[in-house]
Structure 1
């Protein structure tokens, strides 16, 4: 039905770690059998088990594309991902909602069962990979008394407190009522570069705006593509990259009057200097605007004029009618 009405399937598939390739293959198979277009959001291959395996993913996708399956994908140009600490729990430990989860965390025997799942087996919440706590950085807390944890990995915080990492993890989850956010330093540069060159790739930030130190991708994704991966590294040409960030995305969303500079299209325009455009958002200071962008027009109205916000709100939600 989704495909028949012009929609597409965009799953958050079950793993970016152990079994990632199999998870992608499952989604491709669903798309093929349902005759429904597929968009793979933040389609990456993370964790040590997938280092250098991006070509395997692209071969899977190319084979399906060559057989007529409609597939697109997006990535963000950073190595760490972002989520909540509670997302690392095995799914059985998170069943029943907040109170049920907190009750499990208060029981020593259940804590130990969870620890084994996360540290030794590799929980489904941690993408099937035994946890390396040095890769999990706390970047947002709810309570002021836990602010000292921001910017520390779970391993670092545990060393400072003289406790095992799993205990630190459980104690923080309980104290924060599961509200702690984190960065996961589990990506591989060669995978990022390989996937972004794919013929159906689009750029996407997957950005989160909340937290003490949110992921800089919310502010820096698109200028980072233009600065690092076009100007500095030459992974993409400038015209290629602009297409990845504009027209391809609009085409997947079936937006018939956006994504291109063309008569009759909405005047959504970004004017930037290809020699100076760059992201300034960092992991330590993420809420920083890009440099090298002089003007932004939304529906023909200036939102950014000579580098300064105008306060104009000319955008509106875009909704398709399914008939």
Structure 2
């Protein structure tokens, strides 16, 4: 009687397990070859984020050093959290925090809903020609440089022959120094932002509106719902996830008001309400050479932004909405 040799199942299992990573590598290589042109199109974007976003992140270590350019990065003295302590003890900290949060609050209340409103209005335009024309006109300001926007603001609002002050002088017999008045700075910034960015912001919401089921509108019409009720009960709920996601991302920019716009409109007469973290970092880092201190301020902004994004995402999920992850 011959005994049949049993196969070495343990060796076979080990061989199969070892071949799994190889199969995965082969599968990944096959996918790369198959979609090589798509990945090639993706490469410039990846290089941009790698070079200008991830590599510079090493620079945050300057916040924990007393950086001296002639000593270099590795020989400069490490001081821990000293720069953060100086920043928080600075009397200007609360002024910067107040100005930054106030501007962000105004933009959140007045600017954030504008692209939604414009998208809803454009969605009701039935003539394709008029719709495309309006879209083009409201998109154009996004591509105008902020320097041009500031120049237009100056031409319109200056007391020396400005168009708006000319009308005020003609009909009210008085002039208002909008550019130097602290009480007019924040409304002026919000109006600039709305005019420049609202139209371009409608792109995402119009794309979301394109995915709304038309049958829901037909059923609502059969039930006697007018345009307002259709927008409230069908359109807005359908794009609610998009609104929530953009709001979460917006929370990450609460301490980021945009350096260029504020810097161009800032002057000594409105500084008490116009100075924000972005302009303060520029002033301390570039004009005064306090590289480590300004890096600490920038790191503080980034950390607060991350906390706000994570917190708002958690809150959105608690209320049953789709978060960013």
TM-score, normalising length from structure 2?
0.23
Work out which structure has the larger RCO, using CA pairs closer than 8 Å and 6 or more positions apart in sequence: 2
Structure with the higher fraction of residues in strand conformation = 1
TM-score, normalising length from structure 1?
0.23
